[in-house]
């Protein structure tokens, strides 16, 4: 059964705690506690002092709550709405688990619209996506082999691809640079997280370039995405939707002797179709060039591949912070809850309403996507810990989160540290967040959230500056150091009481 925590109770306990606590000093160079002369009790810098000494511009909101009692242990600017960045994926995981369930799997199928006689399909073949965010090249090869095993050797009709299980989005966040692989298109048919592999090598005075859909076993070339090397210094990349293709150019001056990177895919259905066509041909099945099917297929399923169970998908999403996965599972959850989903942003609004209703969160909760990539999403530290505290009893979220090591002043992991943290990180330019669970030295478990953001500084960036903004790395480093100091304070100061 889920505990109910009201915002009134949360803020009341927070203010009462902050007003009554008396905190002393700690050494300036160490995160470990020391004892006062003549006393065995360790002394810690206050959270307010740690924030003040962090050197961070912008705002800091934090909160920590005892999971068992629901008592607020400490809070600062906890009711200030800030961008949660990828910490939002933890909320998306809760949303997906609630709507889809622990046993949910996604299915990708090949379907036939006509009859099959002596291995000949008299009709169209359809590659139909079911929203699987984990579909990769290897499993498309398995699907082609399964089609062959069904006895199919020829298709007389068209080869169609369908991604309408979820609405199409050209990208997650329109403000991102065009070439970043973490901002791909989203569809109901996705492959390799909707990224295509671009590789270049200098041979003599010319560059050899390739675009492929590589995975662990295979690396088939693709035709829908093309790259041209141009003699210029900037911009490094340009993109155009031309003749139904993803047309890229790259500045020769930026390439060096060789290298590779993943680029976002803007035509995911055609991408998956081309790769499947290649593997079908390897099985002796010749298919026409893929065409996008606008309406839901109603054919007979010939073969299919299924995803891992939802908890495994979510664990990888939280560990590797895959934006595509978050957007797909979030929209799939909305589709189950509402019967349909109109758009990515409409689904994010539905998730916002669900979070407010389920956990009693405030009106500051506002999501524009499910991944946290969009910087217009807002959440407060108080709302985050309310959700985390309630969710701790209701589901497996902590077991899906990544273990966060405690670090010394040189940013090295401290072995066998008594404070244990499982959490989700979140990073955008001049935004850094961390939220999850901390087990103190005495075994007490607490939910915590730390949101830091310099929104004005982020808003001042141009689109081209967003990949590597001046001062961005230093700002993030300061935020992460503050997060570590707050965690060690909470885990040891509260754990020693």
- pLDDT band at residue 496 using 50, 70 and 90 as cut-offs: low
Alpha carbons 84 and 352: distance in angstroms, whole number: 13
Strands 115-117 and 120-122, by their bridges, are antiparallel
Out of 6-20, 245-259, 385-399, 457-471, which region has the weakest mean confidence (pLDDT)?
Answer: 6-20
Alpha carbons 222 and 212: distance in angstroms, whole number: 5
Could you report the per-residue pLDDT of 64-114, keeping only the tens digit for each? 999 999 999 999 999 999 999 999 999 999 999 999 999 999 999 999 999
Residues of the chain with CATH 3.50.80.20: 106-307
Number of helices and strands (H, E) in the chain? 12, 22
Alpha carbons 207 and 255: distance in angstroms, whole number: 9
DSSP states along 9-73: HHHHHHHHHHHH-------SS-SS-EEPTT--SEE---HHHHHHHT---SEEEEEEEETTT--EE
**233 token code pair:** 């210094």
Determine contact, residues 262/196, Cβ cutoff 8 Å: yes
Determine contact, residues 358/395, Cβ cutoff 8 Å: no
- Say which DSSP state 252 is in: G
Count other C-beta atoms under 10 Å from residue 493's C-beta. Answer: 24
Alpha carbons 45 and 35: distance in angstroms, whole number: 12
Determine contact, residues 129/269, Cβ cutoff 8 Å: yes
- Say which DSSP state 288 is in: P
Average pLDDT, stretch 186-200?
98
Determine contact, residues 165/131, Cβ cutoff 8 Å: yes
Q: Rounded to the nearest 5°, which phi and psi values hold at 49?
A: -70, -40
- pLDDT band at residue 43 using 50, 70 and 90 as cut-offs: low
Average pLDDT, stretch 316-336?
98
**Greater pLDDT, 410 or 383:** 383
**384 token code pair:** 């985050």
273 pLDDT exceeds 70? Answer: yes
Strand order in the sheet with 206-212: 206-212, 195-203, 258-264
Determine contact, residues 380/79, Cβ cutoff 8 Å: yes
Instruction: Sort 109 into a burial class: Cβ within 10 Å, 0-12 / 13-18 / 19+.
Output: buried
What pLDDT does residue 465 have?
A: 84
**383 token code pair:** 């709302």
Could you report the per-residue pLDDT of 148-170, keeping only the tens digit for each? 999 999 999 999 999 999 999 99
Share of the chain above pLDDT 90, in %: 86
Alpha carbons 216 and 19: distance in angstroms, whole number: 56
Residues of the chain with CATH 3.40.710.10: 7-101+310-494
Share of the chain above pLDDT 70, in %: 91
- pLDDT band at residue 464 using 50, 70 and 90 as cut-offs: confident
Could you report the per-residue pLDDT of 195-235, keeping only the tens digit for each? 999 999 999 999 999 999 999 999 999 999 999 999 999 99
Alpha carbons 17 and 75: distance in angstroms, whole number: 8
Out of 35-44, 100-109, 341-350, which region has the weakest mean confidence (pLDDT)?
Answer: 35-44
Out of 2-11, 71-80, 167-176, which region has the weakest mean confidence (pLDDT)?
Answer: 2-11
At 353, which helix (H) or strand (E)? helix 344-359
**101 token code pair:** 């369930």
Q: At what angle do helices 381-394 and 88-100 cross, to 10 degrees?
A: 40
Paired with 208 in beta bridges are: 201
- pLDDT band at residue 42 using 50, 70 and 90 as cut-offs: low
Most confident residue range from 9-18, 32-41, 70-79: 70-79
19 pLDDT exceeds 80? Answer: no
- pLDDT band at residue 394 using 50, 70 and 90 as cut-offs: confident
* Averaged pLDDT score across all residues of the chain: 91
What pLDDT does residue 17 have?
A: 36
Could you report the per-residue pLDDT of 441-459, keeping only the tens digit for each? 999 999 999 999 999 999 9
**429 token code pair:** 């330019």
21 pLDDT exceeds 70? Answer: no
Give the side-chain half-sphere CA count within 13 A for 453. 28
- Say which DSSP state 102 is in: T
Which CATH number does 106-307 carry? 3.50.80.20
Which CATH number does 7-101+310-494 carry? 3.40.710.10
**265 token code pair:** 């895919």
Alpha carbons 182 and 184: distance in angstroms, whole number: 6
- pLDDT band at residue 22 using 50, 70 and 90 as cut-offs: very low
Paired with 260 in beta bridges are: 199
What pLDDT does residue 40 have?
A: 44
- Say which DSSP state 254 is in: G
């Amino acid at each position: 059964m889920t505990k109910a925590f009201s915002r009134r109770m949360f803020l009341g306990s927070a203010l009462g705690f902050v007003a009554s606590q008396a905190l002393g000093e700690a050494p300036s160079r160490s995160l470990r506690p020391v004892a006062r002369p003549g006393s065995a009790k360790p002394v810690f810098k206050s959270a307010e002092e740690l924030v003040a000494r962090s050197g961070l511009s912008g705002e800091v909101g934090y909160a920590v709550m005892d999971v068992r009692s629901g008592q607020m242990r400490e809070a600062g600017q906890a009711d200030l709405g800030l961008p949660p960045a990828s910490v939002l994926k933890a909320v998306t995981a809760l949303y997906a688990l609630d709507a889809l369930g622990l046993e949910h799997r996604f299915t990708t199928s090949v379907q036939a619209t006509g009859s099959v006689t002596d291995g000949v399909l008299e009709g169209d073949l359809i590659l139909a996506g079911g929203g699987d965010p984990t579909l990769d090249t290897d499993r498309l090869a398995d699907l082609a082999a399964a089609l062959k095993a069904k006895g199919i050797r020829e298709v007389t009709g068209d080869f169609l691809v369908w991604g309408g299980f979820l609405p199409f989005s050209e990208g997650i966040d329109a403000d991102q640079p065009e070439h970043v692989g973490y901002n791909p298109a989203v569809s109901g048919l996705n492959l390799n997280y909707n990224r295509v592999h671009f590789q270049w090598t200098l041979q003599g005075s010319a560059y050899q370039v390739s675009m492929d859909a590589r995975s662990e076993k295979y690396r088939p070339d693709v035709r829908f995405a093309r790259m041209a090397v141009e003699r210029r210094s900037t911009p490094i990349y340009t993109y155009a939707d031309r003749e139904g293709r993803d047309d890229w150019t790259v500045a020769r001056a930026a390439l060096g002797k060789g290298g590779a990177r993943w680029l976002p895919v803007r035509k995911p259905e055609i991408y998956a179709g081309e790769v499947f066509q290649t593997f079908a041909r390897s099985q002796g099945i010749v298919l026409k060039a893929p065409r996008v099917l606008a309406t839901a297929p109603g054919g007979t399923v010939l073969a299919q591949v299924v995803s891992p169970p939802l908890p495994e998908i979510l664990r990888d999403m939280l560990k590797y912070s895959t934006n595509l996965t978050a957007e797909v599972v979030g929209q799939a959850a909305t589709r189950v809850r509402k019967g349909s989903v109109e758009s990515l942003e409409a689904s994010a609004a539905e998730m916002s309403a669900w979070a407010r209703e389920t956990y009693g969160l405030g009106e500051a909760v506002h999501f524009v996507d499910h991944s946290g990539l969009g910087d217009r999403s807002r959440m407060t530290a108080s709302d985050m810990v309310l959700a985390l505290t309630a969710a701790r009893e209701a589901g497996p979220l902590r077991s899906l989160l990544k273990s966060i090591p405690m670090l010394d002043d040189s940013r090295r992991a401290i072995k066998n540290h008594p404070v244990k943290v499982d959490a989700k990180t979140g990073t955008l330019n001049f935004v850094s967040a961390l939220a999850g669970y901390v087990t103190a030295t005495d075994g007490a478990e607490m939910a915590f959230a730390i949101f830091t953001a310099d929104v004005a500084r982020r808003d001042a960036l141009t689109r081209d500056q967003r990949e590597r903004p001046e001062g961005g790395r230093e700002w993030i480093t300061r935020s992460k150091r503050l997060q570590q100091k707050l965690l060690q304070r909470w885990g040891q100061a509260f754990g020693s009481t």
